[in-house]
Chain A
Amino acid sequence: MAEARPVPDRAAWRLAALAALALLCVAAFMSIGLRGNLLFVLELRAMRLASLIEVAVAVALATVLFQTVTANRILTPSIMGLDSLYLLCQTVLVFVFGGFGFANLDARLKFGGEIALMVGFSLALFMPMLRSRIDVMLLLLTGVVLGLLFRSLSSLLARMIDPNDFALLQGASFADFNTVRADLVAAGGVVIGVGALLAWRYRHVLDVMGLAPDTAVGLGVSWSRAAAAALLLVASLVAVSTALVGPIYLFGLLVVAIAERIVDTRRHAVLLPAAILVAVVTLVGGQTVFQHVVKGQSALSVVIEFAGGLLFLLMLLNGRRP
């Protein structure tokens, strides 16, 4: 818990080092290889930086919160079928409006609708379980099954649509850190900012929730209400990050595992910022490297998912927490 021992000093020091590294990545991202119309390039980069940072914050927060509520270190929100639901949304939209109509939908309207849909879905999924006490295993099982269902529905629909429209859909089905959704950066920033403020405000409650449901109740936390609130926040964050760059499955797992290793604590006052900083370093730093060193020969998202997959296997094989 809070400031109990000299140990947090070490965590604070490591947090500062992480912050410095993140700043370095941001500076490199903004400054390396500047050419041409400076103002224009800087503006473009700032926009991309903002969207990368938004994704980093959203994924880090969503994963930490999800792991705390479900007392699980190996699963991430995408296992609940949230990303798959997002994909299904895209497919249904293309199916209904056709490729041209899909491309011409008002982005902000679509964004708002998607967030509402995903939050609504989470409510429908969790509320019956939360009425008594949340059963995490049941929740995860439901998530896995629904995720499968959504994915097979999407591929079924995808088979039925025009091949040209299908290409458009494929673009939406994979994470892509290169395209910037300038139209969504501001709206996403608001959602993520509010989410981050809420998570920070309730960081001590989250610590208590990490103990065990009954222990949290014994300490005066209303478990079902707190868990529902946390999961709704997770759903909104996943919706935002998926809308910005597409589905990323194992990035959260990777980032939180690394952050927990670095600060060696599960206290949210330390772990939340640490996970965010690691995510920023990975995304912004990784994107810089890919743009200027590897020169885009492969995609950052592929490398991240590959590393995340390796870690996932390692964690399963080790059978213990990171």
Chain B
Amino acid sequence: MIEIERVSLQLQGAQILHDISLTLPKGGVTALVGPNGAGKSSLLSLIARLSPLQTGSIRIDGMPVDATPGSVLARRIAILRQDNAVASRLRVAELVGFGRFPHSRGRLDAKERALVAEAIARFDLTDLADRYLDTLSGGQRQRALVAMAYCQGTDYLMLDEPLNNLDMRYGRELMGTLRRLADGDGRSILIVLHDINHAAAYADRIVAMRCGRVVAVGTAAEIIDADLLERVFGFRMRVESIGGRRVVLHHR
């Protein structure tokens, strides 16, 4: 369970997050949606202790993120950031292998190697395993980064816009994979999405943010509502029901 209590964030004099309280139960897929600049990435960074907590508290399975050793948290929670610049010249297999660092401290034995190989296969990277990251296409690199976060093997997996650069097929496969991780392995997934239809189709829970505040929390049926979406995103869109599923026609 992730408990966020009265968290505010100020950066360079601007109030980025306003007094956010939110509890995310263990398990399932939670989608975080909202317009650009709503504070989604900032909230994720705070949960994953990438930026220091200023006010309020955040606990993961009861452990306060600002007082728990980083190496302990790294075995509970993995994060993929929105913008990832990897400094070193690395091969895909090496990058994914870094995901095991919290467990192996760098020494990859047969068991660890098997886990890395499984992650590589799961994200369809086997043919690319020996390629250098800077020779990959944007989508291929994104899959390698997701595979690394997955490979960390944590109960909580947080992904900031992982669908960036992915084509329709890989986007769909990634969402399916996350769904299976939640259903089969009991992992908790927190994912920032811009495509509201992906959120509606795959998430158990949708958290909608706007201007540093949580506007609504609920199931897809509760959130996918023309009035509510207009409040979040600031424009009117058509919501239809097709084959029993809510679909948002936001294009024109």
Contact = CB atoms under 8 A, between A and B. Distances in A.
Interface of A: 1-5, 7, 71, 132, 203-205, 207-208, 210-212, 214-215, 217-222, 265-267, 321
Interface in B89-105: 89-91, 93-94, 97-102, 104-105
Contacts of A218: 48, 50, 74, 78-79, 81
Interface of B: 45, 48-50, 52, 69-75, 78-79, 81, 84-91, 93-94, 97-102, 104-108, 113, 116, 129-130, 152
Main secondary structure on chain B at its contact with chain A?
Answer: loop
Contacts of B69: 220, 222
A204 B107 contact: yes
Contacts, number: 92
B93 to A, nearest CB: 5
Nearest to A219: B101
A212 to B, nearest CB: 6
Contacts of A2: 97, 104, 106-108
Contacts of B129: 5
B105 A204 contact: yes
User: Would you list the 3 A-B pairs with minimal beta carbon distance, nearest first?
Assistant: A204-B106, A220-B74, A220-B71
How would you classify the secondary structure of chain A's contact residues: helix, strand, loop or mixed?
loop
Contacts of B86: 211-212, 215
Contact of B50 (A1, A210, A211, A217): A217
A2 B99 CA distance: 12
Contacts of B105: 204
Nearest to B158: A218
B108 to A, nearest CB: 5
A321 B89 CA distance: 9
A210 B87 contact: yes
B190 to A, nearest CB: 14
B69 to A, nearest CB: 8
A192 B83 CA distance: 38
A90 B45 CA distance: 47
A4 B73 contact: no
Nearest to A131: B52
Contacts of A219: 74, 98-99, 101-102, 152
Nearest to A67: B87
B50 A4 contact: no
Contacts of B84: 212, 215
B88 A204 contact: no
